[in-house]
Structure 1
């Protein structure tokens, strides 16, 4: 019995249509899961199957691993909020008063404490409460207030801190001193007071000299002693009354108060 001679070359296995390389590669790009499945059913080598599986898997997962899609301009616009219908006001029961409630009166502002603060801070604190401006004055009569006085210090304020203010009619003021200058003890004082004028001495009248016509006692004031008696006269009237006028220096009763011109002869 004879056998046919073997074929010199082995026959290649027959490929199915789903094993064609072009179809498998196309499915790996378009539909990666299907392409991977066909790649493992194909007669490819183990290395090719692994490489094809990894690349197709990365291609398939890339859209899911990227940044989320940005919102379009239409999506960024705020959507209108649905409003719920407002329920109608409840009807008051019969007999109830329908008069409107009296509005509550707002609390009146109080004058803040601004003594010791710069004028700039005091001005802001006060003018935020009232409609008018805060008046600024100098604390010293002899120190003029310059136009730029924002850094001057407040020494006195009107009204005092804590007083209620009427925003429409409140009149507020402060007295200021320059930086580095101390506050006076009271308003309307001078920083450099003028010295008080010295009092003018009142002239005094000169002493009146004794007159011959003096209306004093005309009797001679004399005292006589035995042997060495002395005589004295108060004025010329007494000398004339005694009959001794004129009286010369050395005569009894002569005195300097009787000789007005000092020529030695008195009561001439």
Structure 2
């Protein structure tokens, strides 16, 4: 049976030989050291479209980073330029410092701490602001409110007359109408003393007297006789057979079961 020949399939053309500037290692090195050249050669390589785009973006970012950052040589040159005027000034310094200049007195350099105790915080606020000072409550259990310009200064540090720069200025304040404590940090609202515990003797527990239990008296049985004798009759028939009918109270064998009417005489008929 005849079969048709397979359809003609064109043979793909062979790829041209790769040039030396298309080698991946060379392109990567140029992207690191010469980003513009590396980006240009990236688009002549046999990489896929996505790889070319990624390599171009990374190379451009790296090139911008190199442009914006200072090179080590420029930093060294800037350091040398900054050191040159210092060396010149040092060389000419002995001629200028041949005659010692008079040192200013301490009172002219730093002002003395004024007396702030007794005044309001508003009077000392400017001094504390200029010297990075702070205000605190004179009592340890009192917190400063949001506005305390009218509060009274009780303590100050440093003391009056000392240089302001000797320590960070600190003032301790109290509310208007509140007396100052003897020392900073005392407690204003002291807790009320607790009452002394009273020793009370425990009350004796009442003793429970056991209630005597009364045992019920056993009811006499029908076989019991009022005379307490050992003779007993089961019924009137037995009394009649024994010849003791009628039987009276006190007779041997008398029992209530024999005397139905309770008149003291049993087995009458």
The TM-score range, normalised by the shorter chain, is 0.3 to 0.5
Larger Rg: 1
Taking structure 2 as the reference length, the TM-score comes to: 0.33
Taking structure 1 as the reference length, the TM-score comes to: 0.34
Structure with bigger helix share is 2
